Structure 1
Amino acid sequence: MLSHWLQRFQKRGDSHSFAQVVSQCQSQLKGYCRRLTAGDIEQADDIAQETLITVYQQFGRLNNLDAFKSWLYRIAFRHFLKMQQREKRWQCLQEQELESLLLQQSDERNSDNHEFIDERYVMQLMALLNSEERAVITLNHTLGYSHQQISSLLEMPLGTVKSHGKRGKDKLIAFSLRQQRGAA
């Protein structure tokens, strides 16, 4: 369905077609941005908004409509990096900072709203990772991109993508294991 609206927007350039493109990809884009910002919803939404504005303005430069989603995430990552540099935000949390944050919220985890709590927990865990690790982990594990695709999308060497993925995964596993031992 997305390809239909992309083709229509490419031919007509009308706002209705673009609105349909947005409705087809906005949810995943926001999720990606939220993981990049380690759960900073307002900033993630700002990045997603800026991304969609850029997509609208530069759509004519996209030659291959099949590469739309990769192009979309590449633009979002660039906006994230610009905002991070400008605002000096979303730096890696130290494990002790995250542990204290999680302790403050431990009572909430026993509530009925597990889906919200689990998503917030994932976002907080992302704060342990640097920007590149967050991007690679999210693209690979959440959105299903291969390392080769991520390499192209983020314009990073394949070995670097694999290193960021492994290092990020190792950090998350190590932290989770320490949490489990502490809870036992």
Structure 2
Amino acid sequence: MDKKDAELIEKAKAGDTASFGLLVNKYQEKIYGLAHYVCAGLRSEADDVYQETFISAFKNISKFKGKSAFGTWLYRIAANNCWMKFRKKKTEKLVSMEGLRGLEDIAQPDESARKELSESVAKALAKLSVDQRLAITLADIQGLSMEEAAKVLKITVPAFKTRLFRARAALKKISDPLAA
């Protein structure tokens, strides 16, 4: 954990909301990105997960022991919130065109090719299970190492590698049905 995060965390634990606000500013894009892709582009669902993640982190910051990076801890909270959201809906798969409009916020306005790619990725991810979406999002979209992603999901590195391999295979099958 970097020194600046450690200082901000200690101040936040002491009740300094401004310090917690700085932590939110640092991690908000990554957490929203995770929520957006795991919630299959459903903006309202992603917004809920995003808000619930930071509310939960604020309420439980005193429980953060620093054994992992603060970002890893936040990813774990966000992943748990994603799982809870889909358990409530009693569905693992979710397809929505509404969420594709939210990708405009992620893509650069002058990068139409990037926007088109993001839309395609969101459509394909929507067809995967929550576990598969989390694996792809953490490793391939957020850029976490295998070790970090496994820690976030509370599984072993070999189990994460297997999950990621299967998720990529499923994504490839969805993206190119003729290749299957």
| TM bracket, shorter-chain basis | 0.7 to 0.9
Query: What is the SS of the residue equivalent to 2:155?
Result: coil
Percent identical: 25
With normalisation by structure 1, the TM-score equals 0.78
Residue 3 of structure 1: CA displacement?
4.9
Aligned match of 2:65: 63
Assess if the C-alpha contact under 8 Å between 1:35 and 1:126 holds in 2: yes
Residue 160 of structure 1: CA displacement?
2.3
Match runs of 1:21-170 below 5 Å: 21-64=23-66, 67-91=69-93, 113-170=112-169
Distance 1:63 1:129, change over 3 A: same
Assess if the C-alpha contact under 8 Å between 1:3 and 1:65 holds in 2: no
Assess if the C-alpha contact under 8 Å between 1:6 and 1:65 holds in 2: no
Question: Hey, what's the Cα distance between the residues in 2 that align with 1:3 and 1:53?
Answer: 23
Residue 89 of structure 1: CA displacement?
4.4
Assess if the C-alpha contact under 8 Å between 1:5 and 1:18 holds in 2: no
Assess if the C-alpha contact under 8 Å between 2:53 and 2:74 holds in 1: yes
Assess if the C-alpha contact under 8 Å between 2:138 and 2:149 holds in 1: yes
Question: Hey, what's the Cα distance between the residues in 1 that align with 2:23 and 2:65?
Answer: 16
Distance 1:89 1:30, change over 3 A: farther
Assess if the C-alpha contact under 8 Å between 1:137 and 1:168 holds in 2: yes
Where do 5+ consecutive residues of structure 1 fail to align? Answer: 102-111
Higher helix share: 1
Query: What is the SS of the residue equivalent to 1:129?
Result: coil
Query: What is the SS of the residue equivalent to 1:120?
Result: helix
With normalisation by structure 2, the TM-score equals 0.79
Question: Hey, what's the Cα distance between the residues in 1 that align with 2:3 and 2:32?
Answer: 20
Where do 5+ consecutive residues of structure 2 fail to align? Answer: 98-110
Residue 86 of structure 1: CA displacement?
0.7
Question: Hey, what's the Cα distance between the residues in 2 that align with 1:31 and 1:151?
Answer: 18
Residue identity matched to 1:83: K
Residue identity matched to 1:127: A
**Larger radius of gyration, structure 1 or 2?**
1
Question: Hey, what's the Cα distance between the residues in 2 that align with 1:22 and 1:92?
Answer: 28
Question: Hey, what's the Cα distance between the residues in 2 that align with 1:8 and 1:145?
Answer: 23
Distance 1:4 1:117, change over 3 A: same
Residue identity matched to 1:50: E
Question: Hey, what's the Cα distance between the residues in 2 that align with 1:129 and 1:160?
Answer: 18
Residue identity matched to 1:146: S
